[in-house]
Each structure stands twice: as structure tokens, then as C-alpha cells.
Amino acid sequence: NAGVTQTPKFQVLKTGQSMTLQCAQDMNHEYMSWYRQDPGMGLRLIHYSVGAGITDQGEVPNGYNVSRSTTEDFPLRLLSAAPSQTSVYFCASSPHSDKPQHFGDGTRLSIL
Amino acid sequence: GEDVEQSLFLSVREGDSSVINCTYTDSSSTYLYWYKQEPGAGLQLLTYIFSNMDMKQDQRLTVLLNKKDKHLSLRIADTQTGDSAIYFCAEYSSASKIIFGSGTRLSIRP
């Protein structure tokens, strides 16, 4: 019963470094998404995917890349980390875009 | 564009009912959701309602939907200390997106 697994749980980066946040789900869900959560701003959609090989931009895509080569995995890449990307990142999945989403436990990312 | 708004804080006495309100802008929303987030954890689905329904009840939870005013509410009966959390309203909008509100932090007074 793994559900949605995010790694790492915590990460500290220096400005300009790159890294990949991993997200994997074992429920054979077609829809996957990445959000960032900042105080007082709720969750903002970064990128989403309606199936393998298909990705699209959300509200705040700048500075992030995604790919969806398999149904199970949906990694989020920070190309050149900036302090403004300090946040908690959540990955979610669902059988279809309008179905309730299952969330991972989040990755807490600090950019110094 | 799509927007979902909620008040940021709500404080209730233990045993009273809590009512968390939400307004949304996309009149074509088909599903509306309520999620709960406890400290340090991800979001957990509490309940959801389809847009052709006015009300949905699930044990201590009652969801009311007013489509005309684009208003959604979540009522928690007999509020307990374990209900302390942030509650997020979300709508499924067009273009395969789910839009979240900023969350309402519910605190319980003894």
C-alpha cells in the first residue's frame, strides 16, 4: 500500500544548483501533478500529466521541468535553484483528472 | 481565470459545529472537493460533491453546494481536538486542472 511516494523528504540546495524531486505511484493512475505550497497561498499547480508521454503547464511552471516516460513516475526538475523556490512540494495522482487526488507526504526544499 | 477563495482562520469551541466556507469562480466545475492537512503531512481527501448535487452528508461531515452563488461549505458536527488542521477547498475546472483555495486553519478551543 505505498500509494504516492516522494523522495527526498527534505533537501537543502545552494542557489544555482539543479536537482530532481522524485514521485512514484503504484496505483496505475493516469493523472499526476506537482504542486508547491507556500504559507497563505494554498497549493499552486506547477505541471501536470494526463498520461505517459503527455505533460502540460500549470499556474507556476517557470524554473521547473517535468517528464512522464512511464505511468508510474513523474519527476520534477529544478534547472537552476533560486531562493524563491523554497517551498514544500507535493506530488499527487488520480485515475483521471477529475477524480480525487492522492497526495504524497511532500518534499521540503530550502534554497540558500 | 479560475479562483477559489476561503477565509484563513476559524476558531471553534470543542463540541460545537464548525462551518468552513469557500467560493469559486468556474461555473463549469463538475466536482468540488474538501481536503484536510494535518501538520507535516500531505493532503487527505475528506469528501467531494458532484455539481448536480446540493448536499452530501458523511457521518459528521455535511457539504452544501449553492451553484447559483458558487458557494461551497463544509460543516463538521461535534468538533473534536483531532479536527484541528488546515482544510482546503478545491474545484475541478476546465483543462484538466484542480484549483485549490488557500486553506482555512481550524483551531479548537477547550
When pLDDT is cut at 50, 70 and 90, the band that residue B58 belongs to is very high
Report CB contact under 8 Å: A58, B97.
Answer: yes
Cell, residue A104:
504524497
Cell, residue B69:
452563488
pLDDT for residue A98? 83
When pLDDT is cut at 50, 70 and 90, the band that residue B2 belongs to is low
Cell, residue B12:
471553534
A84 neighbors A60 (Cβ within 8 angstroms): no
Per-residue pLDDT of chain A (112 residues; tens, 9 = 90+): 679 999 999 999 999 999 999 999 999 999 999 999 998 778 999 999 999 999 999 989 999 999 999 999 999 999 999 999 999 999 999 998 888 899 999 999 999 9
Report CB contact under 8 Å: A40, B102.
Answer: yes
Q: Distance, in angstroms, between A45 CA and closest chain B CA?
A: 8
Cell, residue A11:
533537501
pLDDT for residue A87? 97
- Residue B29, pLDDT above cutoff 70: yes
Identity of the residue in A31, A43, A58 whose CB atom sits nearest the CB atom of B88: A43
pLDDT for residue A1? 63
Cross-strand bridge partners of residue B74: B20, B63
Query: CA-to-CA distance for A13 and A66, rounded, in angstroms?
Result: 19
Q: Distance, in angstroms, between A38 CA and closest chain B CA?
A: 9
Q: By C-alpha distance, which of A97, A106, A99, A12 is closest to A56? A: A97
Q: Pairing state of beta strands B61-66 and B55-58?
A: antiparallel
What length does chain A have?
112
Secondary structure, 3-state, A57-81: ECCCCCCEEECCCCCCECCEEECCC
pLDDT for residue B28? 78
Identity of the residue in A40, A44, A103 whose CB atom sits nearest the CB atom of B43: A103
pLDDT for residue B41? 85
A72 neighbors A32 (Cβ within 8 angstroms): no
B101 neighbors B49 (Cβ within 8 angstroms): no
